[in-house]
Chain A
């Protein structure tokens, strides 16, 4: 096993492009190190990117959107008041990952690249319309977060590619987002179902809405029909019922040790309704 502490993403890509065995990028390490210890993966090359300049930065762009470095931890996200004001749902998803200690290391980028359908930060990013900057042997590109997950544990990144930054769009006026997950306990657990809702209102009427579900399909996924169920409504009972039906209809879960398929489908609807209510209240400037 070779450990590389790189000073730039170019250097990281050079090493990964020439690597022939199993390669892992290391930022927080909260997945890689656990998998290493458990014998799930035995990398030949570990490329540590957390010393690359800028990877710990959170920057507001001129358009009001946000750029978040690949090694920004959950704690650092949570401590950024302006970001939390803009995107509370994105931040609360990340803040649910692991323990206090894990929060000091774990990153949005790592949570995304781990490829888990249950990743807590990914539904919020998808619902927000987040994108990521990717660099690799064939150059740099920007991808939607929604296009990253491929299947459990797999992403659509090409061999040697690494995510350098996460981009959140400008929040704009009258918007709100939220993320809820279901776990049997109160913390230190993995989502049995996760749901993020991001919406915008004009007066009492919802003008835009995006819904993403986690842990109910091979990947975290956007559910356009669920968002559409809310648009044009005032979050009235009929709209909420339509949201619940759309969310449940999109689920393709498995039954496993963490929950049955029926349970996941049922709870996806419950969480969608609850998350939509929180996002709506936030859009109205109410505390929720």
Chain B
């Protein structure tokens, strides 16, 4: 069924029906992580290290345990030993062993009959530390004199002689890099730095965990992926995965940061120690910022060769990223392939280092690695376009990757839509909006792979012909609506007749989280397959009733019809009629689909931003913002636009003001939203969007995945606009007013 070739003709796909979760969310009926309660529930609080790096010499909980209402205290001693690899990382991050590795690292946890008693008890737990030297900056952590965070963590890839904090090295490329630079008319290089930023989801982490002495338990949790929660908690606690049933709550944002565990095993360990009473654990915002997973900070060298006509002859990057005190957490392996993914460049060289630092264990954040890479590469491209007096969009079009291009990271692209996206950008009226004094325009392109991943979906035909769909990917961006639209389209029924439920771990096969922009692609593709399977069964029931061959039945507009030579011989049997009788015609009708879907389609985006810079204060104001991105196909365009706008908003925040600020003592200076400056609504104009649709041939409705690409271009686009507006070219983010003003003054 090559629907991807169709440009139109869908009944529902591409429409904008009401959101299935909308009413619950606006009325407060939606149940988020912290809304979950249970009878006999205890409340937990966590004791956290005030030091960036310190040996834990002694933990004395006797005063806390003596407090009335305190039911349990756990430390690392309550967890199994002998874990290795990422399991050990997860356990070590959940609760420190011998050493606290960052400011905010959990050291102990307490459960009590009220949240206030738990907090009082946490203050009574006495921890004796021996403070150790620390390092938080990525370049400083590689220097010969840097304190060693944990020796023996480097894998085989790291060249000999490097500091033990360097734990991973990646290199790849193609062509002849030196010949490429020799062929260029202009070769330029620069060093670019980005600070760590946090996803800033509005809902802090929250869970309710219950675990008995028999190793059987339950968890209700705010997460992007409850099978991951199950597997990780089971590993950290030494229990069996199938004995832990995990139910996801409604989720107030994740952006990648809720694809792993941070404090969830603490609730379970406390419950087990408190005789199996349920334990609720809710993080404060300060805990979220200090002790969950921001993205990496990065230090990046870029070198590009270009001909006078804009042809890029060679590109070279050397990236250094820290993702906290744990191996494998930086997105270095994603940042490198994203660096030149937009372009067809004959000669490329990529090198990257992962470095440990005394910072929290990084987690995924929307297109992990791609925004930093795009900041470095798209900034330098902009500088070179200006130097050569070339139009930055024309240069991107001239070098754009297309179907058949060997990508910068190896594979050859299938059908992609960067050229169409650039053309749509050039045609947009924002490109001709007049600019006043101190105003400038910046453009940048960006890329994300998108992802398939383990997927299991079940679909049930109801007795009245309505349809339930069970998916395992929590809905963080509209997947329930888009899956319902695709299922209704496939079954030929109304959107309102389909209810999509995100179900617990006992209900489906293993599902990866909602990450990699995969939910609408992968769960959607599986749901369509499940619907097709149900259609086959319904056609078979009709065939049996009519006494004809099942192959002689077709499914049209929500009903089985006799086809071919039987056409018209029997009146159609609707899905409702088949459902009403199914108990007597063979039993329940369900469709299932399990797979790791292939056919993932990459998504490219181009952003254009107009900024005004106050030359006396260095403050940047975003005047106009345009996102143009290839969605493959927009199943529910309003959600797609929301994803584009959300990615841009987060990227603008990263560009202008968001940053992890560490003091000389290695403590986080801004663990609250007052000083961790996410854009507020009045900071941003309405973000204009254009949805380009170059259908992905690997999905029945052409979906690519739209969640992540939108955060890749803004960092560079904003920096390029600030340079155009003020003359100040900043290569270190954020572009905070003191930094911009200093750069303006330095340039005068």
Contact = CB atoms under 8 A, between A and B. Distances in A.
Given A257-B661, A259-B737, A185 B669 contact: no
A262 B619 CA distance: 15
Given A38-B286, A263-B741, A270 B677 contact: no
B171 interface: no
Contacts of A257: 661, 669-670, 675
Interface stretch (A103-111, A187-195, A196-204): A187-195
A42 to B, nearest CB: 9
Contacts of B677: 184-185, 189
Nearest to B621: A186
Which of B656, B672, B741 gathers most chain A CB within 10 Å? B741
Interface string B725-748: 000000000001110011000000
Nearest to A193: B617
A270 B619 CA distance: 12
Contact of A270 (B616, B657, B683, B736): B616
Interface string B675-694: 10101101100000000000
A186 B657 CA distance: 12
Contacts of A260: 738, 742
B674 interface: yes
B742 A263 contact: yes
B680 A267 contact: no
Contacts of A259: 737-738
B212 to A, nearest CB: 33
Contacts of B741: 263, 266-267
Contact of A185 (B618, B683, B738): B683
A259 B656 CA distance: 14
Given A260-B738, A266-B741, A184 B674 contact: no
A258 interface: yes
A253 B584 CA distance: 83
A263 B616 contact: no
Nearest to A269: B616
Contacts of B674: 188-190
A185 B680 contact: yes
B221 to A, nearest CB: 23
Given A257-B670, A263-B742, A267-B617, A185 B675 contact: no
6 contacts: A185-B680, A190-B674, A257-B669, A263-B738, A267-B617, A270-B616
A266 B615 CA distance: 12
Given A257-B661, A263-B741, A182 B617 contact: yes
Interface in A257-288: 257-260, 262-263, 266-267, 270
A185 B616 contact: no
A266 B657 CA distance: 19
Contacts of B656: 184
A259 B679 CA distance: 18
Interface string A182-226: 101111111010000000000000000000000000000000000
Given A38-B286, A257-B669, A263-B737, A188 B680 contact: yes
Given A38-B286, A185-B679, 5 more contacts: A182-B619, A186-B683, A189-B680, A263-B737, A263-B742
B198 to A, nearest CB: 15
B436 to A, nearest CB: 19
Interface in B125-162: none
Interface of B: 119, 286, 616-619, 656-657, 661, 669-670, 672, 674-675, 677, 679-680, 682-683, 736-738, 741-742
A267 B656 CA distance: 18
6 closest pairs, A vs B, by CB? A263-B738, A186-B682, A270-B616, A257-B661, A257-B669, A188-B680
A263 B670 CA distance: 19
B657 A185 contact: yes
Contacts of B683: 185-186
A258 B736 CA distance: 9
A190 B119 CA distance: 28
A173 B520 CA distance: 67
Q: Which of A256, A257, A260 has the most CB of B within 10 A?
A: A257
B737 A186 contact: no
A188 B742 CA distance: 25
Contacts of B616: 267, 270
A256 B661 CA distance: 10
B390 to A, nearest CB: 33
A278 B683 CA distance: 23
Contacts of B657: 184-185
A273 to B, nearest CB: 9
A32 to B, nearest CB: 16
A265 to B, nearest CB: 11
Nearest to A186: B682
A184 to B, nearest CB: 5
Contacts of A186: 680, 682-683
A49 to B, nearest CB: 25
Nearest to A258: B675
A187 B737 contact: no
A170 B592 CA distance: 79
Nearest to A261: B738
A1 to B, nearest CB: 10
Contacts of A190: 674-675
Contacts of A258: 675
Contacts of A263: 618, 737-738, 741-742
Contacts of A189: 674, 677, 680
Count chain B CB atoms within 10 A of each CB in A184, A259, A263, A267 and give the residue with the most.
Answer: A184
Interface string A158-177: 00000000000000000000
Contacts of A192: 737
Contacts of A188: 674, 680
A257 B675 CA distance: 8
Nearest to B676: A257
Contacts of B619: 182, 184
Nearest to A38: B286
Contacts of B286: 38
Contact of B737 (A38, A39, A182, A256): A182
B702 to A, nearest CB: 39
Nearest to B653: A185
A193 B621 CA distance: 18
A262 B670 CA distance: 21
A267 B683 CA distance: 20
Contacts of A39: 119
Nearest to B684: A186
B681 to A, nearest CB: 9
A192 B675 CA distance: 11
Nearest to A271: B617
Contacts of A185: 657, 677, 679-680, 682-683
B615 to A, nearest CB: 10
A190 B657 CA distance: 14
Nearest to B116: A1
A187 B682 contact: yes
Contacts of A267: 616-617, 741
A188 B657 CA distance: 14
A18 to B, nearest CB: 25
Contacts of B661: 257
Contacts of A187: 680, 682
Contacts of A38: 286, 672
Interface string A40-83: 00000000000000000000000000000000000000000000
B418 to A, nearest CB: 33
Contacts of A266: 741
A194 B670 CA distance: 21
A262 B656 CA distance: 20
A147 B677 CA distance: 33
Contacts of B119: 39
Contacts of B679: 185
Contacts of B736: 184
B614 to A, nearest CB: 9
B617 A262 contact: no
**By CB atoms of chain A within 10 A, which of B618, B679, B680, B738 has the most?**
B738
